[in-house]
Structure 1
Amino acid sequence: MARSKPIAHHRSEGLHPSHRKSKTTPVSKQKARPGEAVLRDIRRYQRSTEHLIAKLPFRRLVRELTQDHTPHGARKWNERMWYEGYMYSEKALEAIQDAAEAYIVELLEDCAAAAAHAKRKTIMPSDMALALRLRGETPRRLYSRTGIAITS
């Protein structure tokens, strides 16, 4: 009698459920509409009470500003760097950060109002200058990261 090759049989009933092929089509996630993610972020930030600026970079900025406005006679040499001797408590730094964030938010709201008055949605440096003038503050010359002067 002639030999025949064995035929491979596929068993699906004896396989583990994770190895079985599903016969249903996978359900795809619903694609978000344009602007939905932005609105979700806006609602999240409106509900939240945490700081928007990270603590450590803000504290470095406070330290740098303190050093910039300290008279040179008050500086001391301490462990390879100049140091002013000023120390801030945790609550003081938190209060400074709260005030700074509130100021920035209010200023940007005024800028958005100036842009809306000009029938635009994007704020521009001129909107910032107008908001500062209306607040009675002196607009300063701002520099962007590229080194281009933004005159106000």
Structure 2
Amino acid sequence: MARSVKSSKTIISPTKSTQTLRAARKKSLSVKTPIILAPEKKSITRRSRPQSHVLKEIKYYQETSNLLMSRLPFTRLVRQTLFNLKSKQQNIVTRFTKTAIHALQESFEAYVVSLFESAYSCTIHAKRVTLYPSDVRLARKLKTK
């Protein structure tokens, strides 16, 4: 048996070469190169002072003009108070318009804010920072006189 010598050059048909090129292109497009990101810097979390949040809240409420208490709980409080008064007296109005409730709430909040302002003045006078119920009682006594 004689061996036949094969040439080192192989002839590829033109249709086959274009098919392999297309396949190679598809493979190269489908494989995504990984995106190298810079290493993340760990941010240092700093604690804020505990009083800063309170001061921001005070500033916010001083700048706003809207009501501090929600309308519905205040309305319930008014109706409950009237119900307690009605059991003692007979001729009490039990129906209110929205504007009447709003006016009551405005005056109530103005009174409470001024009461707490004077109560805190009593606290400062006593060289304290914490508001005590005794300060509120003293402020109420001073307001009535």
Q: TM-score, normalised by structure 2?
A: 0.68
The share of aligned pairs that are identical, in percent, is 31
Q: 2:130 aligns with which of 122, 130, 141?
A: 122
Matched, 1:64 2:80: yes
Matched, 1:42 2:50: no
| Aligned residue pairs, count | 114
2 CA distance for matches of 1:33 and 1:69? 47
Q: CA deviation at 1:48?
A: 1.1
Equivalent residue number for residue 8 of structure 1: none
Matched, 1:101 2:117: no
Q: CA deviation at 1:126?
A: 1.5
Q: TM-score, normalised by structure 1?
A: 0.65
1 CA distance for matches of 2:127 and 2:88? 49
Runs of 4+ with deviation above 6 angstroms: none
Which runs of 5 or more structure 1 residues have no equivalent in the other structure?
A: 1-12, 76-83, 138-152
With over 3 angstroms needed to count, the CA separation of the structure-2 counterparts of 1:116 and 1:85, relative to structure 1, is closer
1 CA distance for matches of 2:42 and 2:120? 44
Whichever structure has more strand as a proportion of its residues is 1
Which runs of 5 or more structure 2 residues have no equivalent in the other structure?
A: 1-31
RMSD: 2.4
Q: Which has the larger radius of gyration?
A: 2
Partner SS state of residue 35, structure 1: helix
